[in-house]
Amino acid sequence: MEIQILKTQLDIYQVADRLGIQINKYHKAQCPFHDDKRPSLQFSKEKQIATCFSSNCVAGTMDVIGLAEKKLNLSTHEAIKWLQQEFGLQDQKPIEAKPIPINYPKLFRVFEGNLKKSSKGKAYLEERGLNENLEVGYNGTAWEKMKHCVIFPLKDKQGQITSFYGRSTVAANHFYNSNRKGLYPGYPKAETETLILTESVIDNATLQQYTNHETLALYGTNGLITEHQEAIKELHQLKEIILFLDGDQAGKEAVKRNGEILQSLKPEIKLTYIETPENEDINSLAQSHEPTIFKHLIDHRKPLSFSVESLDTQLKPNATQPKARLITTNPELLYYQNCVLNFTVLGGIKITGLDRLRVTLKIEHQERNHLLPIRHNLDLYNNGQVEQLGQKVAEQMELTTQEAITAVAQLTNELEVYRERRLEALKPKKEINENQLSTTIKQQCMAFGKAPELMKRINKLVGQCGIIGEEKNRLALCVIASGHKNKATMHALIQGSSGSGKSHLMGAILDLMPKESVLCFTRVTESSLYNYGSHELKGKILGFEDWDGLEEKAEYAVRELISKEALVSSTSVKNEETGKISGAHHTVYGPVTTFACTTNGTIYEDNMNRVFVIAVDESREQTLRVIQYQNDKEAGLIDERKEAETREFLRNFMRTLEPCQVVNPFANKIQPAPGIGQPETA
C-alpha cells in the first residue's frame, strides 16, 4: 500500500488510542518517549501529526507511521504492516481520476454572479482601485481551484474564455490554470495601431480604466510567450508597441529582454517604453496618484534603443527589493508576512484612539510548520509588552530576540499606514469633474451632445446598457436624474407590484449617473439625513429602494429636502473649554434629486405634487423581452464589456453637463382655468 493512501485512511488520534497513548481535552498526552510529568506531546487533528515540545525529548514531529515506529520500536516497513493489520486495511493501487473538461465560459458566469454578492471580492477590487465594470468574477469556494480568488478570464483568438487568472484575496498569491491558454484581456483587435504591454493582469486591468489604447498583459517578467508573439504577428496595421512594466530591477530587465524579442518579431514598428517611477507599478500608481499621471507617462514615453550600452544606461537596475505587504481585504482579519513570520491580526484594529494600537495577534513561522502558532493580545505602542512578546516569539519560533522585535516593529509600521488610509477614506471624497476627464473623452462627449436627436440617441445607449424595454420610462428617468446639478431639480417615484423590477430599473438608471453623485439607501433612520454635513447632499441623487419601509420622520425629512431644499435642525453643543451646553442650529443644504420605489404611490398623497410617478411595464411582452435578454446573456451573446464601456461613456457625458438658464417666452401667457382661485359658494 502506498504511504500517502495509508495516511489518508488513518486518524492519528485513533492510532494513538490503539497504542495506549491517552490524549486529553487540550489535545495533549504524556510523551512515552521520555520521563514526562506534564503532558508535552501535542496532537494536531488538522495536520495529523504529533509533536513533543519538551527539551528533554528527541522524538520531534511524527505522523501516524512515525508514531507507530517509535512506540513499537519497528522499522518503517514493519510499522506500515502493523497499521494495515491492526486497522484491517487492504493493499490498493491509487485510482487515476480522469479529468473532467471545464466549461470555462459557464464557470466564469458563476464567478461574475458571485462577485455581486461577495463583500470580500468587492473589497479587494476597491482596495486595488479596480472598477467592478471590468470583466471580473470571484470564486469563494464554488471551485476547488483558485479558492477565495478574484478571477480574470483569458481568451483565445475567437474571444472565447479558455482559462483563468486568479488573484487571492486572503494572501499575496496568484494562480493560473496548469494548462493555461489565452491572453488577457483578449487578442488585440485586428485594426490596432498602438499596443501597450503590461507586466501583469492586475496592472492591465488597472490601465484599461485610464487609456483608450489596446492593451495586452504579459504573464510576469518572463514576458512574451508563443501565444503573445503569434497575436502580435497578426496585427498588420500595428505601428507602435509601448512597454509599460514595473519600475523595479526585474521590470527594467524585462523591458530590455522583451524589446529585443519584439524588434526581431516586428522590425518595422516603433518600440517605446515608459519610465515607471522607482519600485512602482501601474496599480500602485493608480492608488497613490491622480488619473492624469497615466496620460503624462504615456505622452512622455521614450524610444527604446537596442545597443547594449544604451539599454544598460536607460534601464539601470535598482537592487531595492519590494516590501512585505499588509493584506487588508477583510478588515476583521488582516494578514502581514515578512521574511520569517506570518502575522494575522484577529479582529482588525480600531481607527480611533491614535495614542494606542491594541491588537490580537496570531503568529506563525513561515517554514517550520511543526511549531504551534502564538496568540497574543497587546498594545503595540507599549514597549514593555512588545519586548515580552519579542522574547516569547524568539523562544518558541527559534529566532533571536532582535529578529522577533524587528518583525513586530515592521508590522506596527504597516498597521499605522493602514490606519491612516482608513482615516483618510472617511473624509469626504473629491468629486470627479469635467476638468479631470481627458481631452479625448471631453471631445467625444461634446460631439455626442451637439449631434441631432440627442434624446433618441441617449435612449438607444441606455438600452445598450442592458435596460430592456421601458423605452419611455427609462428616458424619462434618465432626464430626471441628469438634472441633479440644476438649481431646480426633479424627482421620481417608481411604482409597481412586488417583484416587478422597479428597484432594478432605478438601480440601472442611477448606475448611468456619475458614481460620485449618487447615494442609494436601503434603510434610512428618522434623524440620519439631518446629520449630514452642510453641503454633503447638495447636488446629489438620493435613491430609496423601499419607500414603503421608510420611517415617517425620515419620509418627512425627504419631503422637506424636496420642497424647501434644506433641513434645519436645532441641536445641543458643548463648549469644550467651559463645559457649558448651549443650543445651536445645523442646516443640510439641497437641492437634491430623489428616486424612490413603492408598491402603491397613491397612499403618499403628500408626495404626488412633488414627484413624477413612473409606473413600470408589467406586461407579458416586457417579461418576455427580459427573459430573452437573460437567455442571450447566459448564452454569451451579450457583449458585457461593451455594456460597461457604454455605461462609463454615459457617466462621463453626464459629468460634462452644466446647468443653464432656460427662458420660456410663453410662461406669462398661461392662465388658470375658469373657476380656479374663486371662493366656493354654499
CATH number at residue 583: 3.40.50.300
Q: How many domains does the chain have?
A: 5
Q: Do 114 and 207 share a domain, yes or no?
A: no
Grid coordinates of 283: 496599480
Q: Do 154 and 193 share a domain, yes or no?
A: no
User: Does a structural domain hold residue 97?
Assistant: no
Residue 539 CA to residue 537 CA, distance in Å, equals 6
Model confidence at 308: pLDDT above 50: no
Whole domain around residue 368: which residue ranges? 326-425
Residue where a domain terminates, one of 87, 115, 149: 87
Q: Do 173 and 195 share a domain, yes or no?
A: no
Look at residue 593 in the predicted model and tell me its pLDDT: 94
The mean pLDDT of 6-26, rounded to a whole number, is 88
Task: Report the CATH number that the domain containing residue 170 is assigned in CATH.
Answer: 3.90.980.10
Q: Do 139 and 274 share a domain, yes or no?
A: no
Look at residue 264 in the predicted model and tell me its pLDDT: 84
Task: Report the CATH number that the domain containing residue 34 is assigned in CATH.
Answer: 3.90.580.10
Grid coordinates of 270: 516603433
Q: Do 161 and 250 share a domain, yes or no?
A: no
Model confidence at 388: pLDDT above 50: yes
User: Does a structural domain hold residue 530?
Assistant: yes
Q: Do 233 and 375 share a domain, yes or no?
A: no
Residue where a domain terminates, one of 87, 119, 144: 87
Residue 204 CA to residue 185 CA, distance in Å, equals 8
User: Does a structural domain hold residue 670?
Assistant: no
- For the chain, the residue count is 682
User: Does a structural domain hold residue 544?
Assistant: yes
Q: Do 48 and 67 share a domain, yes or no?
A: yes
Model confidence at 102: pLDDT above 70: yes
User: Does a structural domain hold residue 680?
Assistant: no
User: Does a structural domain hold residue 257?
Assistant: yes
Q: Do 204 and 170 share a domain, yes or no?
A: no
Helix %, strand %, coil % of the chain (to 5): 40, 20, 45
User: Does a structural domain hold residue 14?
Assistant: yes
Q: Do 463 and 602 share a domain, yes or no?
A: yes
Residue 107 CA to residue 143 CA, distance in Å, equals 9
Summarize pLDDT for 542-560 with one digit per residue, the tens: 999 888 778 888 888 888 8
Summarize pLDDT for 579-624 with one digit per residue, the tens: 677 878 889 998 999 999 988 755 556 667 788 999 999 899 998 9
Share of the chain above pLDDT 90, in %: 32
**Residue 182: other Cβ atoms inside 10 A:** 21
Model confidence at 357: pLDDT above 60: yes
Q: Do 502 and 628 share a domain, yes or no?
A: yes
Helices (H), 564-619: 605-608
Look at residue 603 in the predicted model and tell me its pLDDT: 52
The answer to whether 21 touches 41, Cβ cutoff 8 Å, is yes
CA distances from 453 to 275, 446, 458, 624 (A): 45, 14, 9, 29
Residue where a domain terminates, one of 120, 151, 181: 181
Residue 305 CA to residue 308 CA, distance in Å, equals 8
Listed in sequence order, the residues at least 6 apart from 251 whose beta carbon sits closer than 8 Å to its beta carbon are 199, 221, 245, 276, 281
Q: What is the mean pLDDT of the chain?
A: 85
Please state whether beta strands 41-44 and 28-29 pair in parallel, antiparallel, or not at all (unpaired): antiparallel
User: Does a structural domain hold residue 535?
Assistant: yes
Residue 489 CA to residue 285 CA, distance in Å, equals 38
Grid coordinates of 614: 413612473
566 has which bridge partners? 589
**Residue 55: other Cβ atoms inside 10 A:** 8
Q: Do 246 and 315 share a domain, yes or no?
A: yes
Grid coordinates of 427: 473624509
Q: Do 549 and 461 share a domain, yes or no?
A: yes
